[in-house]
Amino acid sequence: MGITSSNKQIDVQRIDCDGTLQVTLGLSAAPDITSNPTDIVLILDRSGSMAGSALANLKLGVNTFIDILSESTGGAPDSIGSGSRIGIVSFADTATANTQLITSVADLKAATDSLVAGGSTNHAAAFEKAETLFDPMSSNARVMVMFTDGKTTAGPPAAPVAQAAKAAGILIYCIGLIGTGGIDVATLELWASAPPASYVLVTPDDADLEKLFQDLAQNISKTGATNIVIDEVISPEFMIMSMSSPSKGTATMQDVRTIQWKIPELGVTANEGASLSFRIRHITQQPGEKAVNEKITYSDSEGNKVSFPDPKVTVECAVVVTPESCPEPQNFTVEPCQDSVVIDAGDTYLESAGRIVQLDVRIKNVCPGKEVALAVLLSEVEEGGEERQRGMKAFTIPAHDYPGCRDVLVRCIKFVVPEDGESQCSSREFRARIIAHNVNTDYECCQQEISLA
């Protein structure tokens, strides 16, 4: 069956400017379908949210899948060959077996083309109906391909049904379309075979569906994969922080942006999945939606066609203000054996014109053992008497332990007031307001006791 899926996913959708995220690459592969007959049930979402282009593109994808399987299995015209079979199950409020496991291409396509969107989304019923199509007496490998565009809105949770199917030896792939109902990727990963990165594919664009089904069918027809080499180069806006050991094969960091993953063989004798995870950090100060990787290449000895998704993360950076530019450098040279040099460095002008206002405040009659909360508000009085706020500071003045009440001098309360484009030589009028009060007190609220007569 060759490479049956290839995936790349990230663990978060938003990070801070210097935040990190985990990237996971996944592959799955299976033996040649012509020598390993396989029964495949395509489980297709026809709920109301699939109306329009989503359902149309799903039908194109499924029909392409059927055509490729027919051609690759070497069956008679209009037939699935080599002992393999395909069945169609569709679901909305309930699930329907649109066909049993059959080999007729015409009947499979007719069943697919007859689908009409409408109703809720009952995933549990879909898995249950699909499992009834398999013959427990057959020696064929068993595969489910679940396609859906939304969360469960009818019926019980589907996870127990999917888990039971996997325990019975059924391989489960999940293809998710981020439609109007939304997709819970974590739930798809719970349904799918392990490792999830190898068996879950998600796309935001229904135009991608035909390509996803096409790639899956093309790779199913090949025999596993050997001498796999994957070169992953992440975007220049990120750097690799760490890398875990892959579940299969070996991986090495070529530099802070490049990883090479080699797998000697995958899926040659049985269905297999492999995954590799690594953590990256955003290293620039530019916010926005960022593609995680710059490029990724795949090769193997069998010539499997493999493409990986291109996940994007939203980077949120704080506002950065640079009030002053760096000064222009003055270059000069000191010759060999020259002990001193005299240069003309040109003109230098005073920059960042402004004032520093420093206030001393005397708080009167502060009693011993009393902390004081002090606030200073500074404003500038402009022409016409209008005030412009310039700053506010608040302090806690520690208590003193002198025997009686006394004045406390608070010194060096500083405010910075830029010139705002005016000449530094002009006079400026300011106004300060001071608020102070005791923080602590020996007052205790009385506790009233209630007596019953």
Q: What is the pLDDT of residue 235?
A: 96
Task: Work out whether the CA dihedral 95, 100, 103, 109 comes out positive or negative.
Answer: negative
CA distance 155 to 175: 20
Task: Work out whether the CA dihedral 422, 423, 429, 431 comes out positive or negative.
Answer: positive
- Check if the beta carbon of residue 423 is closer than 8 Å to that of residue 406: no
- Check if the beta carbon of residue 288 is closer than 8 Å to that of residue 237: no
Instruction: List, in sequence order, the alpha helices (H) in 92-243.
Output: 105-113, 123-133, 159-167, 185-191, 196-199, 209-220
Q: What is the pLDDT of residue 250?
A: 96
Supply 299's token pair: 């090769």
Per-residue DSSP letter, 4: E
* The amino acid at 441: T
Q: What is the pLDDT of residue 220?
A: 66
Longest alpha-carbon distance in the chain: 109
Q: What is the pLDDT of residue 107?
A: 96
CA distance 451 to 446: 15
H/E stretch holding 418: strand 406-418
Instruction: Kindly list the distances between the CA atom of residue 66 and the CA atoms of 246, 371, 430, 445, in Å, as whole numbers in the listed order.
Output: 33, 82, 82, 82
Supply 380's token pair: 């500038």
The side-by-side arrangement of strands in the sheet containing 14-16 is 14-16, 312-316, 288-291
Strand segments, DSSP code E, in 236-353 are 238-243, 250-255, 258-266, 272-282, 288-291, 293-299, 312-316
User: How buried is residue 361: exposed, middle or buried, by Cβ count under 10 Å (0-12/13-18/19+)?
Assistant: middle
The side-by-side arrangement of strands in the sheet containing 387-397 is 387-397, 372-381, 429-438
Per-residue pLDDT of the chain (453 residues; tens, 9 = 90+): 568 778 899 999 999 998 999 999 999 887 767 777 889 999 999 999 999 999 999 999 999 999 988 887 776 678 998 889 999 999 999 999 999 999 999 999 999 999 999 999 999 999 999 999 999 899 998 999 999 998 999 999 999 999 999 999 999 999 999 866 678 888 999 999 887 877 888 888 899 999 888 877 876 666 678 899 999 999 999 999 999 999 999 999 999 999 999 999 998 777 788 999 999 999 998 899 999 999 999 999 888 778 898 999 999 887 666 677 777 888 889 998 998 989 888 888 776 678 899 999 999 999 998 999 999 999 999 888 889 999 999 999 999 888 888 899 999 999 999 877 655 677 889 999 999 999 988 777 776 555 565
- Rg, C-alpha atoms of the chain: 36
Rounded (10°) angle between helices 123-133 and 159-167:
20
> Terminal CA-to-CA distance of the chain, rounded, Å?
90
For residue 117, give the 3-state DSSP assignment.
coil
Q: DSSP per residue over 370-391, as a string?
A: --EEEEEEEEEE-TTS-EEEEE
pTM above 0.75, yes or no: no
- What domains appear along the chain, each with residue ranges and CATH number? 8-27+222-319 (2.60.40.740), 33-221 (3.40.50.410), 354-438 (no CATH)
Q: What is the pLDDT of residue 144?
A: 95
Q: DSSP per residue over 231-246, as a string?
A: EEEE-TTEEEEEEPPP
Supply 260's token pair: 């090479």
Residues contacting residue 318 through CB under 8 Å, at least 6 positions apart: 17
Task: Work out whether the CA dihedral 310, 245, 187, 7 comes out positive or negative.
Answer: positive
